[in-house]
Structure formats: C-alpha cells, structure tokens
Amino acid sequence: MNRKELKRQIEKKDSYLCIGLDTDINRIPNVFEKNWRGMVDFNKEIIQATSDLAVAYKPNIAFYESMGIDGWKALDKTLEFIPDHCFTIADAKRGDIGNTSRMYAKTFFETFDFDSVTIAPYMGSDSVEPFLTYNNKWVIILGLTSNKGAKDFQFQKLENGSQVYEAVLRRCAEYGSIDNTMFVIGATKSEFLTDVRQIIPDHFLLVPGVGAQGGTLESVIEHGANNDGGLLINSSRGILYASDGKDFAEAAREKAMALSKR
C-alpha cells in the first residue's frame, strides 16, 4: 500500500486507528480453544467486527513465533482475514547486519506479504536499507518508545546538545523517504510530538500506547497530525480484551469506535 492509498483510507474511514493483534491464547475468551486455531478464530472475529473502523492491523510477531510452527500458521491464517483496504504491520522489531536483514525483509514482505515491518535501528543504515528495496513496502523505525526503559538511552544528551532519539530521527529520515519510512513515537510521550514534528514534519508516525498504556487520542492528534494525517494510532489490549465474555466482539467494536474518530 502506497502513501496515497493509505491517506485515502484514513480520509474514507475518518480514522487513524491501528489495532494491535497481540493475541495471547491465555487471555482469549473461553469460547475458543486455547491453541493456534482458537487464536485464529478470535482474530477473525475481532477483524470482522472492526475492519470498517481500522485503517491498519499490527500483529505483534512475538505472540505468534513463541508458539513455534503453530504460531506461524496462525499468523498466516490471520493475514488472510485482514481486508486489502487495511494496512498491515509486522511488529517484529528486527534489525541486523545486511545479509540477515535481507532475509528478514524476505520473511515479512514476500513470505507473509505485510505492507510494513517495525525495525530497531541501533545497528545503523545497513540493517535498515535491505527493507527499503521493496516497492510499496514500508519500514517503521523505532524513534521514541513508550516503555519505562526508554529513558536509559533515548534521552541521553550527545555532545552537540541533541538527545539520542532526536539524532535517530534525523539520521534515519535520510535512509528512505516519506513514501517508505515511518517512525514509532510512543503515545505516552505525546508531549514530545511537537518536537518530533520539527524534525520529521512529513513522515507518518505509528503511535502505540493509547489505551492500556495511558496515552490519549486527543493529545496525539493535537501534537502529531500533519497535512496528510500522518498518524496510525495503535491500541491493542484495550480493544482485544475489552470483554472476556461472549460479547467480546461487540465490546471490541465499541472500544474501536471510541478511538477511531479524527
């Protein structure tokens, strides 16, 4: 999916919503089998209940690969149920030397045909560039994350006075373009979004942390939106586990509706 198509979906649905499919078989309702088939059935119903509201879906790969072969089968089947009009994100946080990154890129862009994959940029340009050789595919680079440990490195000051996360944004923005590169900016750091937009005004941002992690939709839109919209705002647990009863799909839809308005 290219930038123009992504922008069209945001406008058509009047939504920035990305739903994270962080599906834990221990948390899905008891009406499902506690195995990969139950995982797929749960995902299918969540997708069917929300796909008119969501611009994107983001399976967190850890929840699938932790189950071995069955987990990879669950991921493959889940992708079959995501409509073509929805952007897909492999939340894999990969990043390695060039020849290894080429294999990761092949995994998520050829074997599974995701629209995008999240990348950890610590190893530099040669760990990111193999992902940028694909047409109409996106790299989503970790820029400023919402976890507690973000302060360990991301806010450290460099000799030139900038913070590490700012240097990451500036340098990584040079690897690709606004047509194939996005950045992860955590919603619990929404007060920094204004500063982020000074550095990367035109890039799309994937913003996790809305809902269960405490970030607010209003604050993210106020500080992070640009002329093209420029946002994919993710909620995972808050939507997936809105109810553990038979009404789980209806409850998920209600949560999605609350987060889908621009």
Q: Give the model confidence (pLDDT) of 84-134 as tens digits.
A: 999 999 999 999 998 999 999 999 999 999 999 999 999 999 999 999 999
Contacts of range 194-198, beta carbons closer than 8 Å, 24 or more positions apart: 194/223, 195/166, 196/143, 196/144, 196/169, 196/224, 197/223, 197/224, 197/226
- Which residues lie across from 235 on neighbouring strands? 19
What proportion of the chain, given as a percentage, has pLDDT over 90? Answer: 85
Which of 58, 93, 148, 189 is the catalytic position? 93
Taking residues 71-87, what's their average pLDDT?
98
Strand 17-21 relative to strand 116-119: parallel, antiparallel, unpaired?
A: unpaired
Least confident range of 56-65, 97-106, 182-191:
182-191
190, pLDDT greater than 80:
no
| Mean pLDDT for all residues in the chain | 94
Q: What is the pLDDT of residues 192-249, one digit of tens each?
A: 899 999 999 999 999 987 755 556 888 889 889 998 899 999 999 999 999 999 999 9
> What's the confidence (pLDDT) of residue 214?
59
Taking residues 65-71, what's their average pLDDT?
98
Confidence at 75, pLDDT banded by 50, 70, 90: very high
Report the predicted TM-score, pTM, of the whole model to 2 decimal places.
0.95
DSSP annotation of 159 reads: T
35, pLDDT greater than 60:
yes
d(CA 185, CA 191): 11
Phi first, then psi: what are they for 115, rounded to 5°? -80, -25
d(CA 195, CA 190): 10
Determine whether 93 is an active site residue: yes
Phi first, then psi: what are they for 168, rounded to 5°? -60, -45
Domains of the chain: 3-259 (3.20.20.70)
